[in-house]
Amino acid sequence: MILARVVGSVVATRKDPRLEGKKLLVIKPVSPEGKDEAGYLVAVDTVSAGFRETVLAVSGSSARMAEGCKDRPVDTVIVAIVDEVSMDAGSKQR
Amino acid sequence: MYLGRVVGRVWSTVKNPGLEGKRLLVVQPLTPELEDTGKPLVVTDSTGAGSGEIVYWVRGREASFAFLPEEVPSDTSIVAIVDEIHVNRKKRADR
Q: Is this prediction's pTM over 0.95?
A: no
- Whether B29 and chain A come into contact, CB under 8 Å, resolves to no
Q: Is A42 part of any domain?
A: yes
Residues 17-76 in A contacting B (C-alpha not used; CB under 8 Å): 31-32, 37, 46-48, 56, 58-63, 65-69
CATH number at residue B9: 2.40.50.220
Q: Is A65 part of any domain?
A: yes
Total of domains in chain A = 1
pLDDT of A94 = 39
Looking at residue B71, its amino acid is E
Give the ipTM.
0.81
A1, A61, A65 ranked by CB distance to B42: nearest: A1
Relative to beta strand A2-10, strand A23-29 is antiparallel
Q: What is the pLDDT of residues B26-55, one digit of tens each?
A: 999 999 888 899 899 999 999 999 889 999
Q: What is the pLDDT of residues A20-70, one digit of tens each?
A: 989 999 999 999 998 999 999 999 999 999 999 999 999 999 999 888 888
Domain extent at residue A11: 2-81
pLDDT of B91 = 58
Total of domains in chain B = 1
CATH number at residue A43: 2.40.50.220
Interchain contact, B76 vs A67, CB within 8 Å: no
Domain extent at residue B49: 2-94
